[in-house]
Amino acid sequence: MVTNTNTMKTKLLLLISLFLSISTFAQNYPVGHLSSTFTDASRNNRSIPVEIYYPATTAGNNVPVATDAQFATIAFGHGFVMGWDAYENIWQTLVPNGFVMVFPKTEGGIAPSHAEFGKDLAFCIARMQSLNQDASSIFFNRLSSTSALMGHSMGGGAAFIGMQQNTSITALAVLAPAETNPSAITAAATLNVPALVIAGSNDCVTPPSTNQLPMYTSLASGCKTYVNITGASHCQMSDFNLLCQIGEATCSPGPDISRDEQHQVIADYIVPWLRANLNNDCQSGSAFNDLIESDDAVSFLRTCEQCEELSVAAIGERKIKLSPNPVSDMLTVEMQGSGNLELFDLFGRKLLSVRIETSQRLNLDFLPQGVYVYRVTSTSGNQSGKIVKK
């Protein structure tokens, strides 16, 4: 009982710290909204109907954009046969915190093109940047140069594809992304931008072991984070959606936490992460670091801390070496100082936990061939990635 009480107190203090850190900079902007249709001339004048939510001077439709700042743009992809309106939990979280959100309404049928949807997401960012230069647009001079692609399920997988289409997009943040055709996992290997992949441990629709974890491990990003919400389900990433719920009812396990609880955890992570990576807000980045290291609501992997030093000297000091990789039996771990190495399979099961003092050889002969995920926490830094056992 004492342990549970202490854990709850710790998390409460962290959340209070996170709230105070973010609210120091955030404005509680009213949410403006407009509907529009973009036209992509490069794809036979493809029509892309969109719903846009933005920080406004007052809440309502077609109201002026807030004028006290310039705002980063996020294009968000919906899930399979789900509408944009299933994601009010996302825009009501992000827009008041100073982000413009664009929801393309394309590819909503039972035979969607993932490739075209990815291109639509990328085009939305490009079109918004052009509106920032258009004196007749309400977004004239109201948008910053930074942007992100987000999405849930199919839309999350399509976001990986979309990132390949527009190399000016700053970051990627996805909720329970699903493997797509063409492959989001393959696309991930070509991406080197800050990335946040959020999964649910009880997701039976797109299980982390075959969807989010392979995407995360495939990412070429120098700074990437994987957050697995304990007890979270696939469909609770969004507001209630009947078609999603019908699909989820055919598999198990179901969620172990409520939709509101899951939404709160999502908000706790996406707000400071986006502020750190799109607004260069290192106070929010520090809050993200503090929360993820002590939050019992999630498990995680990462290759960086938010807003850490990126100098060549700092990277050299933090280097942790695991070799050879791929490995057949003996793995050498080298670091400055001491630390702990943990090894997981793609189902998230811990297979090994060992203390390392500067250098140590580990016998991995007991592992079958395959891909594994490691996490090292040490006095010389933290690092995670994949190990291939051959």
**pLDDT score, position 42:** 97
Tell me what the pLDDT averaged over the chain comes to.
89
Mean pLDDT of 322-351: 84
**pLDDT score, position 24:** 39
- Is residue 236 scored above 50 in pLDDT? yes
Run of H or E residues at 13: helix 2-25
Question: Would you say 54 and 32 are in contact if contact means Cβ atoms under 8 Å apart?
Answer: yes
Question: 42-50 — which CB contacts under 8 Å span 24+ positions?
Answer: 43/116, 43/119, 46/116, 46/120, 48/104, 48/105, 48/106, 48/120, 48/123, 48/124, 49/104, 49/105, 49/106, 50/102, 50/103, 50/104, 50/105, 50/124
Mean pLDDT of 296-308: 91
Mean pLDDT of 249-262: 97
Q: How confident is the model at residue 348 (pLDDT cuts 50, 70, 90)?
A: low
Q: What's the token pair of residue 9? A: 């107190």
Run of H or E residues at 8: helix 2-25
Structural domains in the chain, sorted by start: 2-302 (3.40.50.1820), 312-389 (2.60.40.3080)
- Is residue 156 scored above 70 in pLDDT? yes
Q: Choose among 81, 75, 209: nearest CA to 147.
A: 75
Least confident of 71-80, 159-168, 215-224, 346-355: 346-355
Question: Would you say 57 and 49 are in contact if contact means Cβ atoms under 8 Å apart?
Answer: no
Percent of the chain at pLDDT above 90?
72
- Is residue 22 scored above 50 in pLDDT? no
Q: For helices 154-163 and 114-131, what crossing angle results, to 10°?
A: 60
Q: How confident is the model at residue 336 (pLDDT cuts 50, 70, 90)?
A: confident
Question: Would you say 142 and 68 are in contact if contact means Cβ atoms under 8 Å apart?
Answer: no
Q: Choose among 163, 165, 166: nearest CA to 195.
A: 163
Per residue in 96-126, pLDDT (tens digit) is 999 999 999 999 999 999 999 999 999 999 9
What's the distance, Cα to Cα, between the start and end of the chain in Å?
A: 45
Mean pLDDT of 130-136: 98
Query: Rounded to whole angstroms, how far apart are CA atoms 227 and 196?
Result: 8
Q: Which residue has the higher pLDDT, 353 or 78?
A: 78
Q: What's the token pair of residue 173? A: 């943040």
- Is residue 15 scored above 70 in pLDDT? no
Query: Rounded to whole angstroms, how far apart are CA atoms 18 and 228?
Result: 19
pTM of the model: 0.77
**pLDDT score, position 319:** 60
Q: Choose among 212, 217, 218: nearest CA to 234.
A: 212
**pLDDT score, position 314:** 39
**pLDDT score, position 373:** 79
**pLDDT score, position 75:** 99
Q: Choose among 299, 298, 295, 321: nearest CA to 381.
A: 321
Q: How confident is the model at residue 315 (pLDDT cuts 50, 70, 90)?
A: very low
**pLDDT score, position 180:** 99
Percent of the chain at pLDDT above 70?
88
